[in-house]
Amino acid sequence: MRVTFWGVRGSYPVPGTATARYGGHTSCVQVDVPGKSPIILDAGTGMRALGRHLKSGPLGRGEGSVNVLLTHLHWDHIQGLPFFDPVFVPGNRLNIFARSGRGTRLNDAIAGVAGDAVFPVVFKDLPANFKFMPVKPRDDFEIEGVHITPIALNHPGTSTGFRINAGGRSVAYITDTSPFDRIRYKKTFARGVPGHLVAGDRRILARMEKDLIAGIRGCDLVIYDTTFTEDEYAQTPHWGHSTPWQAIQIARAADAKKLVLYHHSPLRSDDDLDRMLDDARQRSSDMHIEIDAARQGESLEVR
Ligand SMILES: [Zn+2]
Ligand SMILES: [Zn+2]
């Protein structure tokens, strides 16, 4: 299995000299399993360059399929979709897997990024064939024989992580999520005041954390939301993101082999990210877990 990072930021794109090494595009990761159609994790602005890359294959001739797994529908996870070149080639198939939320139909929400008020080609006129596949946490499914486990995450409006198992190897994509101690989303989102949890909330959070750890147990590679520094988390725990130390604790509890820091804050320069990575490695030096940070344009072979 091969994992390629096309966009590694959260929130909004940040091009420029200060972000040239880690990259400025928002969330998009390609997972290639030999002999299968590409799996794309999230459709942030990194998806544009991925589309150009894939056009050299069957997707350039209208004979290809891609399977897009969306964690959720916040902008930084869907904005690249209408700029993904294969959607303009008739015959291509895009299978879009995501959890529907709050009564919004998945196809309506996706169509919103190519609505006529905001994009010149309305969604229904895009030439490729779209198929929308709703997913549910703990309801595993297969794509061309590749096993996928959706995992509930703790984020405003919800987010869903994915574990991908193929050929005896496993990759988990866990973004966007808060830890499971101070805020329970769907219920307390945006009130901004942690500490109103009742016993029932704590039970649900404990269950979510347990399911997450079980879901990524023994993974070869875990890509995890590490948007925040410790100070930022203390100030805005209700924004639905984690710190490297919180990610390390989950990855370690799950006996993951390698952790990749991901969904970098748009506020973070390359030098800031170097320091964040160094600090994470130092704090976990006795933990038998390899740690790296996602860099746009880089590929990792999972073997
Ligand atoms: Zn995000
Ligand atoms: Zn989000």
Ligand nearest to the CA of 73: 2
Say how many Å lie between the CA of residue 184 and the centre of ligand 2.
Answer: 15
Q: Specify the pLDDT at position 280.
A: 98
Measuring CA to CA, how many Å separate 37 from each of 110, 116, 196? Answer: 21, 30, 45
- Return the SS3 of 278: helix
Class of domain 2-294: alpha beta
Q: What is the pLDDT of residue 189?
A: 47
Query: What spacing in Å lies between the alpha carbon of 58 and ligand 1's midpoint?
Result: 30
pTM value is: 0.95
Helix count and strand count (H, E) for the chain: 6, 14
* pLDDT (tens place) for every residue of the chain, 303 residues total: 999 999 999 999 999 999 999 999 999 999 999 999 999 999 999 999 999 999 999 999 999 999 999 999 999 999 999 999 999 999 999 999 998 765 566 777 778 877 888 888 888 889 999 999 999 999 999 999 999 999 999 998 889 999 999 999 999 999 999 999 887 775 554 454 555 677 778 888 999 999 999 999 999 999 999 999 999 998 888 889 999 999 999 999 999 999 999 999 999 999 999 999 999 999 999 999 999 999 999 999 998
CA distance 226 to 246: 8
**DSSP state string for 72-96:** --SGGGTTTGGG-GGGGSTT-EEEE
- Rounded to the nearest angstrom, the distance between the alpha carbon of 167 and the centre of ligand 2 is 31
